[in-house]
Amino acid sequence: EIQIEKLPGEKLGISIRGGAKGHAGNPFDSTDEGIFISKVSSSGAAARDGRLHVGLRILEVNNHSLLGMTHTEAVRILRGIGDTLTILVCDGFDPRAVPAVTVEVITQSP
């Protein structure tokens, strides 16, 4: 359990992926409906605190369970946290193990 105090006007500064009946947040398990941290902004309370990172699974936010929630429901709860965030997280996936996406451009001569 992690508690983070936001400064006046400060954003939490995280993005999430996943949720029930939506796109998988865990790149290693397409059936996993958990909510995962997909990005931590360089500015914001989460970056300043330093304990939240990409790949963590979010279980609860201010005593609201995110288990079984859709992405939209989880975003609504995170946006309504106020100045104090108490977040329960656990290991999700290792972002260093996710293969990088490469784009190859092929051009043909006439």
What pLDDT does 103 receive? 47
Overall fold of domain 2-97: Pdz3 Domain (2.30.42)
Q: Where are the domains of the chain?
A: 2-97
- How does residue 21 score in pLDDT terms, banded at 50, 70 and 90? confident
Q: Is 48 helix (H, G, I), strand (E, B) or coil?
A: helix
Neighbours of 46 (CB within 10 A): 24
Element housing 75 (H / E): helix 71-79
Beta bridge partners of 16: 37
List, for residues 51-107, the tens digit of each pLDDT value. 999 999 999 999 999 999 999 999 999 999 889 999 999 888 777 776 554 445 555
36 pLDDT more than 80? yes
Structural tokens at position 26: 């865990």
Per-residue pLDDT, averaged over 44-54, amounts to 94
What pLDDT does 106 receive? 56
Cβ-Cβ contacts under 8 Å for 36 (sequence gap 6 or more): 16, 17, 18, 25, 26, 55, 56, 57, 58, 92, 93
